[in-house]
Structure 1
């Protein structure tokens, strides 16, 4: 909601820039999509490595 209100203010102050941002936003979203997917994958790998490293402590009852 805040982003929409910010865009409305930009539209009132400088409508060509607001329309350009509205047109270019899907392109920017598509360009950043692979980086977000890569971030999710890297986070999953680090979670798996952390679980593997902590497994002996959990098996021996080291707590949470």
Structure 2
């Protein structure tokens, strides 16, 4: 559904200001590539914190303490 809404919004932008819409089509992949390392870093940090939390909670799960 998000893709459909994005396409509709892009077509509205194309009607209102076609140079901006064309620039968006060419710049979006570049912006995505620039932001990709930050998404990967965020995912890895989240996984590390989940792993540390699981290690710290393991003794309580073994003993059955909530």
TM over 0.5: yes
User: Which residue among 17, 20, 34 is the counterpart of 2:23?
Assistant: 20
The two structures, once aligned, show a CA RMSD in angstroms of 0.9
The one-character-per-residue Cα deviations of 1:5-59 (angstroms, maximum 9, x if unpaired) are: 1111110110000000001001001000100110110011011011011111101
TM-score (ref. length: structure 2):
0.89
| Alignment coverage as a number of residue pairs | 63
Gap regions ≥5 residues in structure 1: none
Runs (4+) of structure 1 exceeding 2 A deviation are none
Gap regions ≥5 residues in structure 2: none
TM-score (ref. length: structure 1):
0.92
